[in-house]
Homo-oligomer: A and B are copies of this chain.
Amino acid sequence: MDLRSLRYFVAVAEERHIGRAAGRLHMTQPPLSRAIRQLEDELGVILFERTSKGVVLTPAGTVLYDETGALLRQADRIRSRVTDAAGTATLAVGTLADAAEQVGGRLVPLFRERHPHVNVTIRESDLGDPTAGLGAGLVDVAITRTPFDNTGIATHVLRSVPVGVVMRDDDPLARRASVSSAELAGRRWVRLPDGSDPAWTAYWTGGGQDDASPTVRTIQECLQAALWNGTLAVAPVDQPLPVGLVAVPLSDRSPSDLVVAWPKTGRSPLVRSFVQVAENCWGL
């Protein structure tokens, strides 16, 4: 008799219809039927009369329904009491600017749903810091991309994104299905901010920086540079591109992983919880 079964029972009791209740619970009908029967078996009592147009509560089922509401409310109350007792916690989330929309739009709302009492702040990072503030201790957890120096940082891959080189659509290589790094030798590449992680810099650019190479701090600046100067830059191919630019897959560069990252030493359950939410969110 766990709380899950009881929530299922309440849904069925209120809908008087297993199929509808299943929809309300975001599941399908067969496992809900089975769960109700298992609850009946465990209690040794028939809770619903099955009819051809739905189900109706038996007397025993009515008793269970009357009592269960209070139990579930009490469980929810306990949850909020406990989280309140922990004080007004704060979680700082770092993210690369181009992932900020996803993070702010889907992930953080989901997390707030789980932890309404927590103050979540989002810190958008530019391309100069692939750890999005984690390395500097500015944030507790980050959504970012590999590769970067991950000493002391634990990560979990959310999605693996192939990368391509972004160029103007009038570029000689623009129509190619894919290109290799060798074919891009000698071209002018964007420059990442000074002091950026070496692995990071090597991954997202080619070797061809000169004095005229523009330093870019955001994906947008990358694209502008590509549009205006024909400068090359590596970008995830799932980025929406403005007209006039195309992304040609790079045949010899491994995909970049979108990861959730947190300090290895950290023990904060909030961080762990955030990681779980992130995994579920991207798992969908």
Interface of A toward B, CB cutoff 8 Å? 1-4, 37, 40-46, 59-60, 62-64, 67-68, 70-71, 74-75, 77-79, 81-83, 85-86, 89, 114-115, 118, 267-270, 272-273, 276
* The 8 nearest A-B residue pairs measured at CB: A63-B85, A41-B272, A2-B2, A60-B86, A45-B86, A67-B78, A40-B269, A60-B85
A-B contact pairs, 15 of them (CB 8 A): A2-B3, A40-B272, A42-B273, A44-B83, A44-B86, A44-B269, A45-B83, A45-B269, A46-B269, A60-B82, A64-B78, A64-B81, A67-B74, A70-B74, A71-B75
| Distance (whole angstroms) from the CB of A39 to the closest CB of chain B | 9
Inter-chain contact B74/A43, CB cutoff 8 Å: no
CB-CB under 8 A from A114, the residues of chain B are: 44
| Distance (whole angstroms) from the CB of A40 to the closest CB of chain B | 4
CB-CB under 8 A from A1, the residues of chain B are: 3, 75, 78-79
| Distance (whole angstroms) from the CB of A139 to the closest CB of chain B | 17
Inter-chain contact B85/A43, CB cutoff 8 Å: no
Select which of B44, B68, B70, B270 is within 8 A of A273 by beta carbon.
B44
Are A118 and B44 CB-contacts (below 8 A) given A1-B79, A3-B1, A67-B81? yes
Most chain B CB atoms below 10 A, which of A1, A45, A118: A45
Inter-chain contact B68/A71, CB cutoff 8 Å: no
| Distance (whole angstroms) from the CB of A54 to the closest CB of chain B | 17
4 additional A-B pairs beyond A44-B114, A67-B78, beta carbons within 8 Å, are A1-B79, A40-B269, A67-B77, A74-B74
CB-CB under 8 A from A268, the residues of chain B are: 46
CB-CB under 8 A from A83, the residues of chain B are: 43-45, 60
Measured in the bound complex, the distance between the Cα atoms of B280 and A41 in whole Å is 14
Are A269 and B63 CB-contacts (below 8 A) given A1-B79, A70-B74, A71-B71? no
Measured in the bound complex, the distance between the Cα atoms of B81 and A44 in whole Å is 12
Are A44 and B85 CB-contacts (below 8 A) given A71-B75, A74-B74? no
Inter-chain contact B75/A45, CB cutoff 8 Å: no
CB-CB under 8 A from A270, the residues of chain B are: 44
Measured in the bound complex, the distance between the Cα atoms of B43 and A79 in whole Å is 7
